[in-house]
């Protein structure tokens, strides 16, 4: 039995590039972003798209949080079909790109509307490209989420956050080995403690504005008490019991573009119903109490400018 949970690599890595060197042009209306509001990897793309104002350039489809044997499905739409792509299952776009493909079907997925083919499920690169390749379609006042002079530091923070936190909660939740669980559990809370110390005197992870690093950490923290604490056995502390990280996450949640993209109903139903090997009863817990997300966080005292020289999304 495998000791460690291994995340499969992203098989489709097409990239629309602004310089025309890719077979996929950067073109408004050409692509459709398929997401699940339950999925933290997809939530990154939802937030970045909204902050940059790419809604008119890249349309978005939201799948049902409950998958069946064919994975993500468009049962939230009339006729159980995506109205733009005309398909019932995201797997159809994967098959259009690679006939006979039998690997995993994941979100976020960028689909070429004219051909119906999947372009990319490479979630780490997708949001960086939204910031760097789609600048001609950013809204006026769009923030710099991946500023060039901070990229090395952002990349370094992202690497650690992915390994020990974003992916770490999954490594804990899906392991079947006690020693592996103990090791990843300790690493997760050691890293959360380090980030608490980092954020105690600074409002954001890198620089004095919101960057890609904050978005990547936020999508895990916002799900922590609702699913990871109990469902994935990450139960040393709740987020609400970590004062700095709880205030930091509330600060982001109350920032336009963050909390208004979060759907706790989708999040809880997906994890507790789909992961029947972890939760065989399929019962979705009633808690936690969500009222605390609207309470004052006091992080403004640390300074910082959420959008830098830009403005909030409408």
SS3 sequence, 140-190? CCCCCCCCHHHHHHHHHHHHHHHHHHHCHHHHHHHCCCHHHHHHHHHHHHH
Radius of gyration of the chain (CA): 19
What local confidence, expressed as pLDDT, does residue 192 receive?
A: 98
Tell me the pLDDT of the chain (314 aa) as tens digits: 445 666 666 789 999 999 999 999 999 999 999 999 999 999 999 999 999 999 999 999 999 999 998 999 999 999 999 999 999 999 999 999 999 999 999 999 999 999 999 999 999 999 999 999 999 999 999 999 999 999 999 999 999 999 999 999 999 999 999 999 999 999 999 999 999 999 999 999 999 999 999 999 999 999 999 999 999 999 999 999 999 999 999 999 999 999 999 999 999 999 999 999 999 999 999 999 999 999 999 999 999 999 999 999 98
What local confidence, expressed as pLDDT, does residue 286 receive?
A: 98
Active-site residue 39, yes or no? yes
CB atoms under 10 Å from CB of 26, counted, come to 20
Cβ–Cβ < 8 Å for 254, 292: no
205/203 Cα distance (integer angstroms): 7
Structure token pair of residue 239 = 């987020």
What local confidence, expressed as pLDDT, does residue 11 receive?
A: 85
Active-site residue 234, yes or no? no
Cβ–Cβ < 8 Å for 257, 51: yes
Question: Which strands make up the sheet holding 31-35, listed edge to edge?
Answer: 59-62, 31-35, 109-112, 118-120
Q: Domains of the chain (ranges plus CATH)?
A: 31-137 (3.40.30.10), 148-302 (1.20.1050.10)
What residues does 73 pair with on adjacent strands?
89
Quick one: DSSP state of residue 65? S
Catalytic site residue from 94, 101, 146, 170: 170
Catalytic site residue from 39, 181, 234, 271: 39
Structure token pair of residue 145 = 């989420």
What local confidence, expressed as pLDDT, does residue 2 receive?
A: 47
Structure token pair of residue 60 = 């978005």
Q: What is the DSSP string of 254-276?
A: TSTTTGGG--HHHHHHIIIII-T
Per DSSP bridges, beta strands 109-112 and 118-120 are antiparallel
* Listed residue (158, 181, 182) closest to 171, CA to CA: 181
54/60 Cα distance (integer angstroms): 10
Cβ–Cβ < 8 Å for 159, 215: no
């Amino acid at each position: 039995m495998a000791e460690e949970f291994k995340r499969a690599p992203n098989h489709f890595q097409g990239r629309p590039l602004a310089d025309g060197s890719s077979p996929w042009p950067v073109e408004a209306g050409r692509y459709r972003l398929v997401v699940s509001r339950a999925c933290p990897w997809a939530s990154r793309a939802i937030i970045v798209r909204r902050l940059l104002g790419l809604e008119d350039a890249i349309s978005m489809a939201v799948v049902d949080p409950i998958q069946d044997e064919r994975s993500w499905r468009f049962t939230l739409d009339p006729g159980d079909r995506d109205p733009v792509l005309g398909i019932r299952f995201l797997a159809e776009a994967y098959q259009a790109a690679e006939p006979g493909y039998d690997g995993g079907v994941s979100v976020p997925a960028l689909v070429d509307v004219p051909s119906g083919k999947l372009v990319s499920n490479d979630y780490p690169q997708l949001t960086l490209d939204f910031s760097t390749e789609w600048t001609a379609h950013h809204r006026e006042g769009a923030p710099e989420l991946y500023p060039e002079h901070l990229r090395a530091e952002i990349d370094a923070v992202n690497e650690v956050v992915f390994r020990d936190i974003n992916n770490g909660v999954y490594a804990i939740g899906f392991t079947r080995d006690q020693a592996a669980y103990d090791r990843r559990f300790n690493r997760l809370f050691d890293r959360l403690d380090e980030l608490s110390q980092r954020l105690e005197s600074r409002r954001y992870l890198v620089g004095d504005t919101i960057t890609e690093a904050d978005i990547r950490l936020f999508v895990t923290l916002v799900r922590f008490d609702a699913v990871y604490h109990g469902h994935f056995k990450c139960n040393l502390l709740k987020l609400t019991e970590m004062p700095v990280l709880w205030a930091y996450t509330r600060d982001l949640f109350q920032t336009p573009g963050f909390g208004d993209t979060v759907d706790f109903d989708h999040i809880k139903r997906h994890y507790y119903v789909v992961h029947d090997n972890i939760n065989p009863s399929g019962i979705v817990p009633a808690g936690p109490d969500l009222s605390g997300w609207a309470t004052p966080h006091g992080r403004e005292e640390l300074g910082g400018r959420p959008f830098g020289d830009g403005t909030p999304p409408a």
